[in-house]
Amino acid sequence: MIELEGVPELIDPVMVAAFEGWNDAGDAASAAVAHLDREWKGEVFAALDAEDYYDFQVNRPTVWLDGGVRKITWPTTRLSVVRIADANGKGKPRDLVLVRGIEPSMRWRSFCNEILGFAHELGVEMLVVLGALLGDTPHTRPVPVSGVTSDPDLARRLDLEETRYEGPTGIVGILQEACTHAGVPAVSLWAAVPHYVSQPPNPKATLALLNRLEDLLDLRIPLGELSEDARAWQLGVDQLAAEDSEVAEYVQSLEEARDTADLPEASGEAIAREFERYLRRRDPQAGPGLATEGGVADGRDGSYLRDTASGRTRPPKPAPKEAKESKDPGREPGGPTDPKGQETRGPEAKGPDSAGSGPDSRKPDAEAPEDSPTDSPKDGPADGSEG
């Protein structure tokens, strides 16, 4: 039995989780939860025992100095709670339980059961897991975010995709399945990160996840400097792409494919939905800088890149076009960026057995996106990541 002391009775609580590693291309998902924790000043109330779930040769502890005293921070998963006094701009309060950690190295079922134990004790109404995958999507377009669930009723009620994926999975897929068996409504939101610029951070993808979470939960999320970071990121990637004609040509081909795929979305129903969102966000109580589905509040396409002088690697040269299409029979067709329903893979897209920087361009079902390799831990070159 999990006993929680010092945690007040929560109001309409929703648990929002993200895990570094395989399910977190560009660190987009973990950065989104960190943003919520920072903006709403979350208070940590629990941490899972690192000894139970982590291989310290894979996720190494870090040593730091506190007033000359050496201390150790162990890799783990922490839970914090935030109270939003005015969640929807109409004076209605709501609580979020934030779960942020690293994909565990072992005992995944026990790990999920412990998370669900906290959810049960806190009266959590729904669990939302954030993830990010590598995809054949251009950095110049709005970041695609897909919402999926294993619950048919929830899919209909919240206008989500019902997962049909079969194949290897990560902790996001395992946790969502555990929620299904436990009767806890669960949703996963997946952002597609351009595979040719997969190095973290990617604030444009983080912003897109927060946009979708805002719509899903009817929240008003303060963005701070995230919109400006997203714009700077895109300008930086634009500059890198302009330096290489082959990369620029490849990006243009992705843009054409994306624009073709998006044509059916310009329906009357889609336009009406976007207009309703626009009117909802015009509420003067919301203030400037609120998240929008396109990226930033002023209607421009937001994005970000660190200063090129910081050592950021250039986008790789694109592979021949005939090599882009995946032949892996275990992959689910119909990825989010291919207009013909064929799953494609461009330069740097990783296979299921590699240890790349994030999930590949698989269709973002409840288990699909997390079934791609992830980046290795940041502690040192000797730390490999589980696949």
Report the range of poorest mean pLDDT among 112-116, 117-121, 217-221, 257-261.
257-261
pLDDT digits (tens, 9 = 90+) for 44-88: 999 999 999 999 999 999 999 999 899 999 999 999 999 898 877
Q: At what angle do helices 226-242 and 245-262 cross, to 10 degrees?
A: 120
Give me the mean pLDDT over the 130-153 stretch. 90
pLDDT the model gives residue 78: 95
pLDDT tens digit sequence for 285-344: 443 334 433 333 333 333 333 333 334 334 444 444 444 443 343 333 333 434 333 443
- Confidence band, pLDDT 50/70/90 cuts, at residue 192: very high
The band of 349, judged by pLDDT with boundaries at 50, 70 and 90, is very low
Query: Are 45 and 80 within 8 A, CB to CB?
Result: yes
By the 10 Å C-beta count (0-12 exposed, 13-18 middle, 19+ buried), 145 is classed as buried
Q: Which residue has the higher pLDDT, 36 or 249?
A: 36
**Can you state the percent helix, strand and coil of the chain, rounding each to 5?**
35, 15, 50
pLDDT of residue 277: 54
Q: How far is CA 210 from CA 215, 217, 248, 253, 325, in A?
A: 9, 10, 29, 28, 31
Q: Which residues have CB under 8 Å from 57's CB, separation 6+?
A: 382, 383
Per the prediction, the chain carries an average pLDDT of 75
Instruction: Write down the pLDDT at residue 62.
Output: 94
How much of the chain exceeds pLDDT 90, in percent?
43
pTM attached to this predicted model: 0.69
**3-class secondary structure, 198:** coil
Cα angle value 334/183/22 (rounded, 5°): 45
Confidence of residue 159 (pLDDT cuts 50, 70, 90): confident
226-285 pLDDT per residue, tens: 999 999 999 999 988 888 888 888 888 888 887 777 665 555 555 565 566 556 555 544
Q: What is the pLDDT of residue 271?
A: 59
Model confidence at 363: pLDDT above 70: no
pLDDT > 70: percent of the chain: 66
